[in-house]
Amino acid sequence: MRILITAGGTAEKIDQVRSITNHSSGSLGVQLAKAALAKGNLTVDYIVAKGAMLPPKDPRITLHPIENTADLQKIMRQLLEKQTYLAVIHAMAVSDFTPAVSLSQESFIQGMNTWLQQKTDSQFTEDELAKLLTVLEAQQEDATKISSKTEHLFMVLKQTPKVISQIKELQPDTLLVGFKLLVDVAEEELLAVAQKALVKNQADYVLANDLTSINAGQHHGYLLDAKGVVAKANTKKAIAHLILDTILERKQSL
Amino acid sequence: MRILITAGGTAEKIDQVRSITNHSSGSLGVQLAKAALAKGNLTVDYIVAKGAMLPPKDPRITLHPIENTADLQKIMRQLLEKQTYLAVIHAMAVSDFTPAVSLSQESFIQGMNTWLQQKTDSQFTEDELAKLLTVLEAQQEDATKISSKTEHLFMVLKQTPKVISQIKELQPDTLLVGFKLLVDVAEEELLAVAQKALVKNQADYVLANDLTSINAGQHHGYLLDAKGVVAKANTKKAIAHLILDTILERKQSL
């Protein structure tokens, strides 16, 4: 049987020397890979973002290195079309936004003046926003590296495609395990948001965790299914084993 | 004798889970540390950005890990006030900008409407820019993690302090080696820009390099002083030895 694990954090380029990165050491992914090998008869495809920790070298693990969300989308599609997975465990921290426009203060001022001339509404409506974005995009210099001399930099970022929502479309029968990381919220809110994400992404399970409860050695996580909390675990290793045990048990009951 | 080396790339937080990072593996820094040890009687303070390669463990090297430009500025000042350095070799890729405002599309629209009501000039002048920035700053939500649901994210970044320009002010007699990385420019432009940076930062030497000439194994760099090109080197190791040899020679001639 084969499973797909994603791990690490993606990086979206601003220019040739700068990126917006999502933090993720990749260590939970490593624990997932180790747990998958420990459980016996599993082969692992492992999509890993640049800079993340790597799982131990093992002939049963195939690494697929990527950098950004577009890479992830491409390799995910390729793998899901080629292989059948018992489960996809999507632990990667994926960028929600990617830079669309980056302007120096000087270019932004020019762009704002161009837009003011075109403006037809006294209010800043969604239509005016669309106009402004078109002007700012046209204003974007052909810069391979943004000048460091301008006083302010103005950036517009656009949403990246939601890769997780494509997984079940490509492979309806795989067990999808998503992750939801929030920062400093009440347990109730964390679980509610994770439950919503489960429904939205057609996930079978979501591992809900809060950044404030993750620190040296400790990593509190709740594994949810459509009915609610399946179990809680308190270290990355325990979370990894909980996920693997849960999907293998589910497999036997199918 | 003691030298100070900086290496790796800084990361400026957007929120708790995202940063703007400057790419730098830190491997040139590692070569510099190795060259410093190979040349004999040198003790090394090594300021290293998170995620960068580390030099070999050696009692003559003291690591000072940092994350962002503010950290760098602080530790640089502490070290320069405490120790006397033969040279400061500032190979770190330092963020020129740090996030000042990050707004969802909804908040940006609100902010633009507030500014339009306050606007007194038909042109978008620097005064209007200052007004707009004040409004957008006030619009900044108290968000520990930016919502991933908004269609566009609007960011204003401000310049970080130029740490390199403070080095000679704190320690006028140290030999300062700066770095200038450009992307895909003619050799003439690269050298001219590097020469300007040398004067501006009161550096004794600048290592000028172009990202397009850096790839597996190869790394073309020109070492400049106030009079022009001192020498060229074609690998990270050769660049490291060129820099160390040059500052040690200069020391003997003083």
Whose tokens are 């599993």? That residue is A42
Looking at the structure, tell me whether residues B104 and B141 fall in a common domain: yes
CB distance from A193 to chain B under 8 Å? no
Compute how many other C-beta atoms are within 10 angstroms of the C-beta atom of residue A246. Answer: 19
Mean pLDDT of the region B185-212? 94
B36: Cα within 13 Å, side-chain hemisphere: 28
Return the biggest CA–CA distance within chain B. 67
Domain with residue B175: its CATH number is 3.40.50.10300
| A144/B159 Cβ within 8 A | no
| B16/A17 Cβ within 8 A | no
B103 close to B140: Cβ distance less than 8 angstroms: yes
In this model, does residue A143 exceed pLDDT 60? no
Query: Tens digits of per-residue pLDDT, A43-82?
Result: 999 999 998 999 999 999 999 999 999 999 999 999 999 9
Mean pLDDT of the region B170-199? 94
A63 close to A46: Cβ distance less than 8 angstroms: yes
Q: Which of B159, B176, B202 is the last residue of a domain?
A: B159
A72: Cα within 13 Å, side-chain hemisphere: 31
Mean pLDDT of the region A157-176? 95
C-alpha angle with apex B143: B139 to B144, nearest 5 degrees?
A: 150
CB distance from A53 to chain B under 8 Å? no
Supply the mean pLDDT for chain A. Answer: 93
Looking at the structure, tell me whether residues B121 and B56 fall in a common domain: no
Query: Tens digits of per-residue pLDDT, B194-207?
Result: 999 999 999 999 99
Q: Which of B144, B159, B174 is the last residue of a domain?
A: B159
Query: Tens digits of per-residue pLDDT, A6-32?
Result: 999 999 999 888 999 998 889 999 999
Return the biggest CA–CA distance within chain A. 67
Q: Minimum mean pLDDT among A107-116, B3-12, B135-144: which range? A: B135-144
Q: Which pLDDT score is estimated for A16?
A: 84
Provide the 3-class DSSP secondary structure of residue B51.
coil
CB distance from B121 to chain A under 8 Å? no
Count of the separate structural domains present in chain A: 2
Looking at the structure, tell me whether residues A181 and A85 fall in a common domain: yes
Q: Which pLDDT score is estimated for B212?
A: 85
Q: Is the dihedral of CA B124, B125, B128, B130 positive or negative?
A: positive
A204 close to A230: Cβ distance less than 8 angstroms: no
Q: Which pLDDT score is estimated for A145?
A: 62
Find all residues with CB under 8 Å of A11, minimum gap 6, and list them. A19, A20, A21, A22, A49, A50, A51, A67, A68, A95, B21
Q: Which pLDDT score is estimated for B17?
A: 86
Q: Which pLDDT score is estimated for A75?
A: 98
In this model, does residue B146 exceed pLDDT 80? no
Looking at the structure, tell me whether residues A119 and A8 fall in a common domain: no
Looking at the structure, tell me whether residues A195 and A224 fall in a common domain: yes
Question: Measured between beta carbons, which residues in chain A are less than 8 angstroms from residue B122?
Answer: 116
Looking at the structure, tell me whether residues A108 and A188 fall in a common domain: no
Q: Which pLDDT score is estimated for A133?
A: 96
Comparing alpha-carbon positions, the chain B residue that sits nearest to A109 is: B124
Find all residues with CB under 8 Å of A94, minimum gap 6, and list them. A9, A10, A22, A69, A72, A160, A163, A164
Q: Minimum mean pLDDT among A201-205, B16-20, B62-66, B190-194: which range? A: B16-20
Q: Which of A159, A185, A205 is the last residue of a domain?
A: A159
B207's tokens: 């290592």
A156 close to A104: Cβ distance less than 8 angstroms: no
DSSP, residue by residue, B91-152? --B--SEEEEEEEEHHHHHHHHHHHHHH---SS--HHHHHHHHHHHHHH----SS--S-SSE
Note the residue count of chain A: 254
Q: Which pLDDT score is estimated for A142?
A: 60
The whole domain housing B63 covers 2-96+161-253
Query: Tens digits of per-residue pLDDT, A78-122?
Result: 999 999 999 999 999 999 999 999 999 999 999 999 999 999 999
Looking at the structure, tell me whether residues B243 and B168 fall in a common domain: yes
Per DSSP, helices labelled H in A119-206 are 126-139, 164-170, 187-200
Measured in Å, how far apart are chain B's first and last C-alpha atoms? 14
The complex's ipTM works out to 0.85
Bridge partners (DSSP) of residue A64 are A47
CB distance from B214 to chain A under 8 Å? no
Looking at the structure, tell me whether residues B110 and B232 fall in a common domain: no
Helices and strands of chain B, counted as H and E runs: 7, 12
Bridge partners (DSSP) of residue B180 are B208
Question: Measured between beta carbons, which residues in chain B are less than 8 angstroms from residue A93?
Answer: 17
Looking at the structure, tell me whether residues A91 and A186 fall in a common domain: yes
- What does the alpha-carbon distance between residue B27 and residue A112 come to, in Å, rounded to a whole number? 42
CB distance from A112 to chain B under 8 Å? yes
Q: Which pLDDT score is estimated for B145?
A: 62
Q: How confident is the model at residue B144 (pLDDT cuts 50, 70, 90)?
A: low
In this model, does residue A4 exceed pLDDT 80? yes
Mean pLDDT of the region A147-157? 88
According to DSSP, residue B83 is labeled: -
C-alpha angle with apex A116: A153 to A159, nearest 5 degrees?
A: 50
- What does the alpha-carbon distance between residue A43 and residue A138 come to, in Å, rounded to a whole number? 48
Provide the 3-class DSSP secondary structure of residue B222.
strand
Looking at the structure, tell me whether residues A88 and A171 fall in a common domain: yes
Nearest-CB residue to A156 (from B18, B97, B154): B154
Comparing alpha-carbon positions, the chain A residue that sits nearest to B128 is: A109
Looking at the structure, tell me whether residues A90 and A105 fall in a common domain: no
Looking at the structure, tell me whether residues B91 and B198 fall in a common domain: yes
